[in-house]
Structure 1
Amino acid sequence: MAKKKVVYCVEDEESIRGLLAYVLKGQNFESQTFSESKSFWDAMKHSLPNLVLLDIMLDGEDGLTILHKMKQDSRYKNIPVIMLTAKTSEYDIVKGLDEGADDYIKKPFGVVELVSRIKAVMRRTESDAVRVDTLSIGELSIQRGSRIVTIGSKVIELTMKEYDLLLYFIENKNLVLSREQIMNHVWGFMYEGETRTVDMHIMTLRQKLDTSSKHIKTVRGIGYRWEEKHNEAKDFS
């Protein structure tokens, strides 16, 4: 029998912790819930989860601080994190993504959406683990499996979603990809009204790729494409 995947949930509202535990058990996951950071860090020292659901608004050490510490620690940085947030402003969402969150879900959330996003993240994590080949375009290099991205000799730190976006673009270079196609491939499902998520992730990806971001073209009214040979005369952005 396959070992059950483990999800840690850090959430200060007791009713939501109970709901998360109930839903995860029903989907054959093991889960541990925590109301604050201390008990979470204690558990992390003994056993690592496959994924963390992390509330932003916590008493004491907040979710963004926890996330920052995880992504700065070699023991924890590759554990995918989905943020649970009552904050809906673009600034708050982008801040979480910049700190290394792999996805976010706004409260109140639907059970079907939550489960779909958890499973999508885990599928990508498992598939990446078995791929070890390298893709190179100019100075940009992507090592699958290890998920290491470099530009020249500089390592570029990407979140899971940013990495998945970049890989999807390069595997489909010169093709126009709609926001819906990107959402379905990278997030693993289509969630109506959330294609703005794609735009925000591409914005942070462009920032991190620096001069290589010139290859990501915005095709107005449709989506994006990765242009292998940059041509200023064909710049749609």
Structure 2
Amino acid sequence: MALVHRERGEPFAIRSGGHGLSAGAANIKDGVTVDLRSISTVEVLDPLNIIVTGGCDAAIGAGGFLTGGGIGVPSVTAGWGCDDVLEYEIVVASGEILRVSADRHPDLFVALKGGLNNFGVVTQFTMRTHPIGKLWAGFTAYPGADAPRLLAAYLDFMEPANRDPHVGLIELYGWTRKHAAVYATLILLYSLPHPYPAVYQNLIDNSTVLYNTLRAMNEVDSEESGYIISRYNRRSGSYQQNRHVLLPTPCRVRGGDDLDRTESDLRVDT
């Protein structure tokens, strides 16, 4: 494959779990996709009461998650997934298979911790494990009318004075294709089995919630229950916390009852 790419310029992409949304990440137009799902073999750790850092969704592939950095369920206390990788098996452009660790090919070892698919095809990860712990976590959904409250609560949550080392929060906004409605979703995690901790007090309103799966569980259960999140097509970005930017006037979506069209057809007025 590397020879064909060098001599003929044939493009190719590497697919692990297929969650990569950017062009060429998990599929390629007019090229070859190298699909790694057939070598998806893991050692079963649950009976041993240990876990490795994986995605918040059980369907997320290890390849893109770990080479991209990897923020998962244990990351609140254990750090990024790539920090737990002790050794990689990788096929590089020459076709050579390398075992890469802190002692062998140390520069490549560092580069793979966030370097994605730029250095070869990783076919195996050897990782540090962690004890399976109990936590409190789940998924909530709110109507778009709750957006001003949720954005204000998120900004308060992000203040350094309110930092809590046990929390993990993802706040998302989107729309449904079936109905012309904006909705807000929260993925909340607390690394101790303490229901409704004070740090989340302003983010949760059970009087307006549309969907709520918050409960005490272990870390394996949290990854499996997170699968519902993957049914939504979403995009995300990083930005500075700025109240003047994140506290907009309420928005309304214009369109028909059925928004089953392209994103460019969706118009949002503020």
**TM-score > 0.5 by shorter chain:** no
More strand by share: 2
Quick check: which has more Rg, 1 or 2?
A: 2
Question: TM-score normalised by the shorter chain: which range applies?
Answer: under 0.3
